[in-house]
Structure 1
Amino acid sequence: MGHQRLGKLPTHRYLPDIVRYLVKGGTPTAHLVEQITEVGRDALKRALKDPVFVEALWLLIRLPQAAASKDFGAALAEIGMGAHRPTSVAELMVAFDNALERVQRREHRDATDLGEIARQAALTALGDAVRAGMPMWSPTADDVQASVAALRSPEKFGALAHHFHANTVERVIHYYVDRNLHELVGADRVVSSVHDLATYDSAIRRHCMEAALIMRAFARDWLGKNLYRDGKDISKNDARKFSAYAVEKISIELKNRKGPN
C-alpha cells in the first residue's frame, strides 16, 4: 500500500496458537488472549493518529445527517463527498471512497496501512448498512437517501460503529496472520486444509464482532447525548475522542475474555 507498515506482531511465536484457537475453538490461555488483545488494542490506538481512520469515522457520523438534510447534494459537498446526489448505492460508495482517498493523498506522510484498513472497514460497514435498508427491486435515488438518513438514529449508529471497529480489528488480525499462513497450512501443521481456513475466517469474524459488541450501547448513547441532546456539531476531533473511549472499552472487553493460564 506504500505507507508506513504496521510492524511485526508483538510476540510472533504465538501466531500458531492464535490460528489453532480460532480454527478449533476451546478455551484460550491467558498468554494467547493477551496476544490477540494486544493486536487489536495496539492497532486501534495507533489508528487514532491516522487521518484516514479519523476521516472514515467522522464521515460515518456526518453522512447520515447529510442525507437527512433538504439538499443532500449540498450537504455532501460540505463534508467533502462531492455535490452529486447518488442515484445508487454504488455511486454513494464511490463518493465515500474518493473522499477517503483524497485524505490519503493529502496526508500521505501521516497515513499508514491502518488508514487503508480503516478505509476498507468503513466501506464494508457502510455498504452493508445501507443495502440492508434498501428495497429489493429497482431502488431509486430517494431510496438511497432514505436508507442513509436512517443511519442517523442513535440505535443505527451504534450498530454502524460496532461493525466499523470490529471490521478494523478483524482486518488487522488478518494483516498479521495471513502473511504467515503458508507456514501454518499443511499436513501435521496448525491448519490442515482449505476447509480449516474457512473456519478460521469465520472464527476471526465472530471473535471481533463479539469483542466489539460493547460499542453498540456506547456509540448509541454518545450520539444521542452529543447530537440530539446537546445539538453539537460533531467535529473530527470529537470523532477521534469518541474512538479513543471506544478503544478502551473494547480493550477491557478483550481482556475479560481471558481464559485460564
Structure 2
Amino acid sequence: MGHQRLGKLPAYRLLPEIIRYLLDGGTPTADLVDQITKVGQDALKLALKDPVFIEALWLLVRLPQAASSGAFADGMAALGLRGPAPKSLPELLVAYDAALEQVQRRSFAGATDLGEMARQAALGALAETVQQRLPVLWQPTAEDLRHSLSALKNADAFADLAQRFHSRFVDRVIHYYLDRNLHRMIAPDRTTKSVNDLEAFNGAIRRHCDEASLIMRAFARDWLGKNFFKEGKSLTRDDVRRFASHSVEKIRIELAQRKGSS
C-alpha cells in the first residue's frame, strides 16, 4: 500500500475497540460492521485534500467525454494519459493508472495512503463499469472499448460510476485497518470463526458501503447533467473538487445515520 512512501493516516480512537472485537469476539457481525464504517467518515473528508483522490475522480468524469470525441488519443493526451488510444480494457487501465501515478510523484508532499486507496478504488470502479458494457459473444475490439467508455458520459452512467468509486474507496479504508490483523481474526471463539465467516463479513462491509453511497447517485446525475449537458462546461479539477465536497458530505451523513442499524 506504500505506507512508507505515502505517509500515515491519522489514528482513530475507535480502532482499538474494533480490533478487540475482531480478535476476542464481542458484538455480532452486523453491529461490528456499523461501528467499522465510522472509520470511513473522517477518511472521506481528509481525502478531499489529497490530489490523487481529486485526479482519480476528475479522470472518471473526463475520460468518457474524450472517448466520445473524434480523436480519442488526442483527448486522452490532453488529460495527461500518454500513448496511443487503448485497444483493450487492460490497456485503458494501465494508462489511467500511469496518469494517477504521475500525480502521486508530482504531489509527493501532499499525497497520502488515502490517495493510493482512491487510485485502487477508481481502477476497480472503471474496470467494473466498462466491462459490463463490453460485448460478451466476441472478443471486444478497440472500437467496442471506445464505445463502452464513451457511454459513461451519460449522466445516469456517471452516477453509477461515481457511486462505485466512493463505495470502493470507503471499503478500502475499512480494510486498510482490518487486513493487517487478518491472520489473527479467525478462531472458534472470535467473531470470524472460519474463512466462510470472513467472506460473509467482507461481503457485509461491501454491501454496507454500496448502500451508504447510493445517497449521492441522484446528486451525481444532476450535477453532470447541469454542468456538462445543459451548460456545456469543460469540467475542471476545481469543479470536481466542489462536486466531491458535496457528495462526500452526503455519504458521511448517511454513514452517521446508519450507525447502529441492523
Tell me if both proteins adopt one fold, taking TM over 0.5 as the criterion.
yes
Q: Which amino acid aligns with 1:140?
A: T
Which deviates more from structure 2 when the two are superposed, residues 46-55 or residues 186-195?
A: 186-195
Identical counterparts, % of pairs = 51
Secondary structure in structure 2 of the residue aligned to 1:133: coil
1:68 and 1:22 map into 2 onto residues whose CA distance is 50
The aligned residue for residue 36 of structure 2 is 36
1:98 and 1:182 map into 2 onto residues whose CA distance is 32
Which deviates more from structure 2 when the two are superposed, residues 156-165 or residues 136-145?
A: 136-145
The aligned residue for residue 134 of structure 1 is 134
Secondary structure in structure 2 of the residue aligned to 1:212: helix
1:219 and 1:22 map into 2 onto residues whose CA distance is 36
Superposition deviation, residue 256 in structure 1 = 1.9
For structure 2, the residue ranges without an aligned partner over 5 or more in a row are: none
Confirm or deny: 8 A CA contact 2:125 2:164 kept in the other structure. Answer: yes
Which deviates more from structure 2 when the two are superposed, residues 157-166 or residues 187-196?
A: 187-196
Superposition deviation, residue 18 in structure 1 = 6.9
The alignment's TM-score, normalised by the length of structure 2, stands at 0.91
Mapping 1:10-21, distance limit 5 Å: 10-16=13-19
Secondary structure in structure 2 of the residue aligned to 1:13: helix
CA gap of 1:212–1:17, structure 2 versus 1, over 3 A, is farther
- Report Cα offsets for 1:142-172 as digits up to 9, x if no partner: 0000000000000000000000000000000
- Report Cα offsets for 1:104-146 as digits up to 9, x if no partner: 1111111100111000000000011111111111211100000
Confirm or deny: 8 A CA contact 1:22 1:204 kept in the other structure. Answer: no
Q: Which amino acid aligns with 1:212?
A: S
Secondary structure in structure 2 of the residue aligned to 1:110: coil
Secondary structure in structure 1 of the residue aligned to 2:214: coil
Aligned residues: 255
Superposition deviation, residue 37 in structure 1 = 4.5
Confirm or deny: 8 A CA contact 2:72 2:85 kept in the other structure. Answer: yes
The aligned residue for residue 166 of structure 1 is 167
The alignment's TM-score, normalised by the length of structure 1, stands at 0.92
For structure 1, the residue ranges without an aligned partner over 5 or more in a row are: none
1:18 and 1:102 map into 2 onto residues whose CA distance is 39
1:169 and 1:23 map into 2 onto residues whose CA distance is 21
1:244 and 1:165 map into 2 onto residues whose CA distance is 12
The aligned residue for residue 240 of structure 2 is 239
The aligned residue for residue 98 of structure 1 is 98
